[in-house]
Amino acid sequence: MTSNSEIQRIVEEGLCIGCGLCASAFPEDVQMRLAPSGHLRPCESTPLNPEQNVQLKSFCPGVVHSGMPSDKISNPDNIDPTWGPIEKMVTGHSSDPKIRHKAATGGGLTAISLYLLESGQVDGILQVAGGGLKAYFGHSQLSQTREDVINGSGSVYASTSPLEGLLKILDTGVTIALVAKPCDISAVRLLGKKDPRIDRQVKALLTPICGGFFPPFAMENFLKSVGANESDVDSVSYRGEGCPGPTIIRFKNGETITKTYLDFWGTDSSQWYMPWRCRICPDGSGEAADIVSGDTWPNCEPTLEMMEGDLGTNVIIGRTSRGAEIMNAAIKANYLNIEGDAEPRDLDYWQPHLVKKKVTAHARYSGMRSVGQIGLSTIDLRTEELTKHMDSKSYQSELDGTSRRITIGKHDDDFTSPSG
């Protein structure tokens, strides 16, 4: 059954990622809640009016996913056909060995955040730290001290609504850098086309490269599989303390269970659990961000040796001239250590799962439309052009596969099986 509410339709089509920007834009009418599926989802206390729905559809990542708007691109020659705008790309890590060790990979995002805060360019870093409505969720945090930024390092592979408080924070007049996932960054870039507060007060958009996260049912299964009762869990650290470092479940009684990164994710990436919106994501590489930071593992999986003691090296991409300037300044001020240059084809090797999603996105969206969904659109992501990497048989097979999955309900937030 299709709903009259745009927000409900987006949720029903499996396209809401729970970013929270609708709740931030319409705080009187929309609140983020824990849905029966266990995800954070928007709930309308008052139905949005037609004008609000038009506004919603201009930024919501369940409707549209954007790359870099053309007015933010300084040099069109620097657009890689697969990976989008790249002004500067290096491998490196935080200059502080303690941050490098604690952070998700090499602490690149933490180092840049600290540079922006401590050089006085921003009043705070809006980022995601562990915990929230559930112990294993993430929550948005405005970090205004070095300690807060460092405590917020690491990756939260769970539901979180990083944009829920964004506009309320901007209303106080502060300047910030935002660290959020590529879909969240797209939403903020799109909102910025209409709302001047974004360009005026959000001084930098930073993002981790993102392949998706664990849906709540999968996390609950994981906790059960290691003998943990969710109600006894105090916090979960998904990675860090090395690269990738262990997944650590901390209990309220002080005990801990420690597993490896691959115990958590599993070794077969085609069987990874993730929300439908992540599975069909057209851009996990943060094309709309000023700066992107990711892993440099061959084929996007750490080897056994890496899990036992790798120090962590990020690929760091400056996508705008502003992003490249910040990176250069953070290097000069000794926040960031550079190991070497990197090239777009290195990204093909480190992030093959994202190449596949970029190339198949158009076929998948056609599959959505073939079963009556409105589906997702893209802007400035070269989605149609990228289909040239598929022959017509593969295109049709992706289209059919998507429509078949939707027909059996795989797009549903309540669907509980691997995403493949």
Ligand X SMILES: Cc1cc2nc3c(=O)[nH]c(=O)nc-3n(C[C@H](O)[C@H](O)[C@H](O)COP(=O)(O)OP(=O)(O)OC[C@H]3O[C@@H](n4cnc5c(N)ncnc54)[C@H](O)[C@@H]3O)c2cc1C
- Where along the sequence are the contacts to ligand X (CB under 6 A)? 103-110, 113, 127-129, 138, 152-157, 160, 162, 179-181, 208-211, 213, 284, 293-295, 300, 314, 351
User: What is the smallest separation between the CB atom of 30 and ligand X, expressed in angstroms?
Assistant: 20
x/- mask, ligand SF4, residues 33-52, rule CB under 6 A, reads ---------x----------
Residues facing 176 on adjacent strands: 124, 202
When asked if residue 277 is in the footprint of ligand SF4 (CB under 6 A), the reply is yes
Q: Which does 281 bind (CB under 5 to 8 A by kind): ligand X, ligand SF4, none?
A: ligand SF4
Q: Which does 293 bind (CB under 5 to 8 A by kind): ligand X, ligand SF4, none?
A: ligand X
Q: For residue 392, count other CB atoms closer than 10 A to its CB.
A: 8
Q: Which of 134, 181, 382, 405 binds ligand SF4 (CB under 6 A)?
A: 181
Nearer to ligand SF4, 18 or 312 (CB): 18
When asked if residue 165 is in the footprint of ligand SF4 (CB under 6 A), the reply is no
Which sign, positive or negative, has the C-alpha torsion 187, 193, 199, 200? negative
Question: Max alpha carbon distance in the chain (Å)?
Answer: 57
Our measurement of the distance from residue 108's CA atom to the centroid of its chain's CA atoms, rounded to an integer in Å, reads 16
User: What is the smallest separation between the CB atom of 353 and ligand SF4, expressed in angstroms?
Assistant: 10
Q: Which does 179 bind (CB under 5 to 8 A by kind): ligand SF4, ligand X, none?
A: ligand X
Of the CA atoms within 13 Å of residue 275, those in its CB half-sphere come to 27
Residues facing 66 on adjacent strands: 379
User: What is the smallest separation between the CB atom of 258 and ligand SF4, expressed in angstroms?
Assistant: 26
User: What is the smallest separation between the CB atom of 9 and ligand X, expressed in angstroms?
Assistant: 25
**Helical (H) or strand (E) element with 247:** strand 247-251
d(CA 181, CA 348): 20
Nearer to ligand SF4, 19 or 306 (CB): 19
Nearer to ligand X, 293 or 320 (CB): 293
User: What is the smallest separation between the CB atom of 240 and ligand X, expressed in angstroms?
Assistant: 7
- DSSP calls for 15-39: ------HHHHHSTTTEEEEE-TTSS
Closest chain position to ligand X (CB): 211
d(CA 294, CA 284): 10
Nearer to ligand SF4, 162 or 312 (CB): 162
Q: For residue 61, count other CB atoms closer than 10 A to its CB.
A: 27
Our measurement of the distance from residue 341's CA atom to the centroid of its chain's CA atoms, rounded to an integer in Å, reads 24
- DSSP calls for 261-297: HHHHH-S-GGG----HHHHT-S-SS-TTSSEEEE---
Whether 354 and 211 have beta carbons less than 8 Å apart is answered as: yes
User: What is the smallest separation between the CB atom of 312 and ligand SF4, expressed in angstroms?
Assistant: 20
When asked if residue 138 is in the footprint of ligand SF4 (CB under 6 A), the reply is no
Q: Which does 91 bind (CB under 5 to 8 A by kind): ligand X, ligand SF4, none?
A: none
Nearer to ligand SF4, 32 or 330 (CB): 32
Q: Looking only at residues 5 through 34 of this chain, which bind ligand SF4 when binding is defined by CB under 6 A?
A: 7, 10, 16-22
When asked if residue 183 is in the footprint of ligand SF4 (CB under 6 A), the reply is yes
When asked if residue 61 is in the footprint of ligand SF4 (CB under 6 A), the reply is yes
Q: Which does 17 bind (CB under 5 to 8 A by kind): ligand X, ligand SF4, none?
A: ligand SF4
Q: Which does 153 bind (CB under 5 to 8 A by kind): ligand SF4, ligand X, none?
A: ligand X
Q: Which does 300 bind (CB under 5 to 8 A by kind): ligand SF4, ligand X, none?
A: ligand X
Query: Residue 233: left (phi > 0), alpha (psi -120 to 50), or beta?
Result: beta
Q: Is 371 exposed, middle or buried (0-12, 13-18, 19+ CB in 10 A)?
A: middle
User: What is the smallest separation between the CB atom of 295 and ligand SF4, expressed in angstroms?
Assistant: 14
Residues 410-413: contacts with CB under 8 Å, at least 24 apart? 410/14, 410/276, 411/13, 411/14, 411/15, 411/276, 412/12, 412/14, 412/276, 413/11, 413/14, 413/16, 413/35, 413/37, 413/39, 413/41, 413/215, 413/275, 413/276
x/- mask, ligand SF4, residues 84-113, rule CB under 6 A, reads ------------------------------
Token reading at 270: 């085609």
Length of the chain measured in residues: 420
Count of residues of this chain found to bind ligand SF4 when the rule CB under 6 A is applied: 24
Residues making contact with ligand SF4 (CB under 6 A): 7, 10, 16-22, 42, 60-62, 181-183, 210-213, 277-278, 281, 284
